[in-house]
Amino acid sequence: MNKNSSNIMALAPNTPNKRATVCIFGTGDFGRALGHKMIQSGYPVVFGSRSTQTSSLIPKEAEVLSHAEAAQKAAIIIIAIQRQHYDFLTPLAEILHGKVLVDVSNNLKTNQYPESNAEYLAQLVPGAKVVKAFNTVSAWALQSGTLDASRQVFVCGDDTEAKQMVMDIVRALGLTPLDQGSLLAAQEIENYPLQLFPMWKFPIFLSLGLTAFFFFYCLIRDIIYPFVYEKKDFSFFIAISIPNRICPIVALILLALVYLPGVLAAIIQLYRGTKYSRFPDWLDKWMLCRKQLGLVALAFAFLHVLYTLVMPIRYYVRWRIQSRILSQALQNKTDPFDNTNGWLSDSYLALGILGFFLFFLLGITSLPSVSNSVNWREFRFVQSKLGYLTLILCTAHTLVYGGKRFLSPSSYRWYLPNAYMLSLIVPCIVLVVKFVLIFPCLDKPLTRIRQGWERNPQYSE
C-alpha cells in the first residue's frame, strides 16, 4: 500500500472496489423485483431456480443457475420463496453452511405457524446465519420506485455480522434498516405487515360504541318523542341534526379520555409514593394510544364544524327562520334584541372556534414530520399545556351552549337529559381533578416523585 492510495483509504478505507455478489433463490415477483433493484444499486445478482431457463421477466444482467450453483457464488442468499417450499433447502444444507440466509417471507394471517418463518428456516439449515428482512417492502414498490409507504426495513437475526451485511444492502437500496435484535423478533416482524392500524383499534371501536349509544339516545329524544307526543315527523334529523349532536359529544368525551389516564397516573403515583412501580396494564395501554384517541376526537370535531357551518343552507333551517318571520309579520310585532342572548350565542361560538383552532394545531403537531422537528420541551408544551387549554375551551363551549337551558326541567324528555349534558361528565371530572392536582400541596410531592424521589425507598443507588 503506497503513500498515494493511503490518502484515499483514509477517507473510505473499507469500501470494497466492487460490491459482492448476492444470490436470490426464487424467480417470483418479489425475487425478480429485489434482484432488479439490487442490480441498479451495483450488486452482481445471481438467481437460483428450479429451471435455469431465463425468462424475459428476469433482469438480463442476472445469471440464472441451479440452486446449488447459485448458492456457491455468493455469501448472502435471499430466500424469496414461500415457507411451504422451504424443505428443498434441506439437501443444500452443506452448501449453505456459513452463508447468510435472508428470510423475506410473509404469512397470510398473524401467528399462522407456531414459530416464525425465519426461525423455521434456521431450524432447517442449522449451519446458516438466518436474518429476517425486507418483508415489509412490496414487490410493486420496488419495481415502480414509488416508495410511498414505508421505507423502513425491519431486520433481525442472531449473528451481528450477518445482520450488518444485510443492513448495508438495505441502505444501498435506499431503504432504512431498523435493527430489531435477535431472531426472536422475527415473529413480530412477520406479523407487522399483516397489521391494520393496531394502535387505532381501541380508539375507533370506542368512538363507534359512543356514536351508536348517542345515536339511539338522540333518536329517542329528538325523533320518537316528538312523533309520539306531537305527531311530528322529524325523521330527516337523522341526516344532519343528530350527527351534529353526536359528533361534538363524542369529540369532547374522547378528548377528555386523552387526559384522563395522565390524571389517573398522577393519583396512583401520589398514592404509591414512587414512580418505580408499574402501572396497571390497562393504564399503560391507554397511555400509549392517547395520540390516536386525540386524532379520532379531532376527526369528530372536524365533522361537527362542517355540520354546523352547513346549517344556514339547510332547507329546514331556512324554512323555520322564514316561518318565524312570517308569523311575526302577520302579528305585526317585532322581537326586541336580547343582549344576553347576543352574548351567549357569540361567546359559545367564539369558544368553539378557538377550541377547534387549538385542536387543529395539536393535530398538526402530531404529524410525524412536525413532531420530529421539535424538542421534548416544545412537544410537551404543545401536547400538555395547549392540550389542556383545548379541553377547557371545548368544555366551556359546551357549557355556554347549554346556557339557560342547563338543567331546566323542560329539557328533560322521558326523564332523559339533553345529550350534551352527558358529554360534560368526563371532561368536568378531568378538569376538576387536574385543578386539584395543581395545588402546591399535591404538585410538589408529585414533582419530586417524578424526579425519582420515593416515599418508602426499596433500593438505594
The correct pick among 2, 372, 410, 456 for binding a second copy (CB under 8 A) is 372
The correct pick among 66, 112, 143, 150 for binding a second copy (CB under 8 A) is 150
Torsion of CA 244, 245, 251, 257, to 10 degrees: -170
What's CA 334's distance to the chain center, in Å?
55
Please report how close the Cβ of residue 105 comes to a second copy at its closest, in angstroms: 15
Please report how close the Cβ of residue 411 comes to a second copy at its closest, in angstroms: 19
Report the site for a second copy in 401-430 (rule: CB under 8 A): none
Q: Assess 80 for contact with a second copy (CB under 8 A).
A: no
| Cα–Cα separations (whole angstroms), residue 457 to 82, 190, 272, 357, 460 | 54, 42, 11, 45, 7
Please report how close the Cβ of residue 408 comes to a second copy at its closest, in angstroms: 18
Query: For 65, phi and psi rounded to 5 degrees?
Result: -125, 175
The correct pick among 1, 108, 309, 441 for binding a second copy (CB under 8 A) is 309
Q: Assess 108 for contact with a second copy (CB under 8 A).
A: no
Report the site for a second copy in 162-191 (rule: CB under 8 A): 164-165, 168-169, 172, 174, 178-179, 181
Please report how close the Cβ of residue 161 comes to a second copy at its closest, in angstroms: 5
Report the site for a second copy in 193-252 (rule: CB under 8 A): 193-197, 233, 235-237, 239-241, 243
Nearer to a second copy, 213 or 302 (CB): 302
Class of residue 398 by CB neighbours under 10 A (exposed 0-12, middle 13-18, buried 19+)? buried
| Cα–Cα separations (whole angstroms), residue 32 to 20, 53, 64, 246, 339 | 18, 14, 11, 51, 75
Q: Assess 268 for contact with a second copy (CB under 8 A).
A: no
Contact partners, residue 21, CB within 8 Å, separation at least 6: 43, 44, 45, 46, 73, 74, 75
State the Rg of the chain over Cα.
32
C-alpha span between 39 and 61 (Å, rounded) = 7
Reported as type and span, the H/E element at residue 355 is helix 339-365
Please report how close the Cβ of residue 159 comes to a second copy at its closest, in angstroms: 8
The correct pick among 184, 208, 212, 374 for binding a second copy (CB under 8 A) is 374
CA proximity to 87, closest of 143, 125, 49, 38: 125
Nearer to a second copy, 363 or 417 (CB): 363
Report the site for a second copy in 113-142 (rule: CB under 8 A): 136, 138, 141
Amino acid at 144: S
The correct pick among 299, 301, 362, 396 for binding a second copy (CB under 8 A) is 299
The C-alpha cell that represents 112 in the structure block? 399462522
Nearer to a second copy, 123 or 323 (CB): 323
DSSP H stretches of helix in 219-289? 225-230, 243-272, 281-288
Contact between residue 265 and residue 287 where contact means Cβ atoms under 8 Å apart: yes
Interface with a second copy: number of residues (CB under 8 A): 137
Q: Assess 326 for contact with a second copy (CB under 8 A).
A: yes
The three-class DSSP label of residue 269 is helix
User: Could you give the string, one character per residue 30-49, with x where binding to a second copy holds by CB under 8 A and - elsewhere?
Assistant: ----------xxx------x
Q: Assess 12 for contact with a second copy (CB under 8 A).
A: yes
Please report how close the Cβ of residue 425 comes to a second copy at its closest, in angstroms: 26
Please report how close the Cβ of residue 211 comes to a second copy at its closest, in angstroms: 13
Q: Assess 335 for contact with a second copy (CB under 8 A).
A: yes
The C-alpha cell that represents 408 in the structure block? 331546566
Nearer to a second copy, 318 or 405 (CB): 318
The C-alpha cell that represents 315 in the structure block? 332547507
Please report how close the Cβ of residue 397 comes to a second copy at its closest, in angstroms: 12
The three-class DSSP label of residue 131 is strand
The three-class DSSP label of residue 121 is helix
Nearer to a second copy, 14 or 410 (CB): 14
Report the site for a second copy in 431-460 (rule: CB under 8 A): 452, 459-460
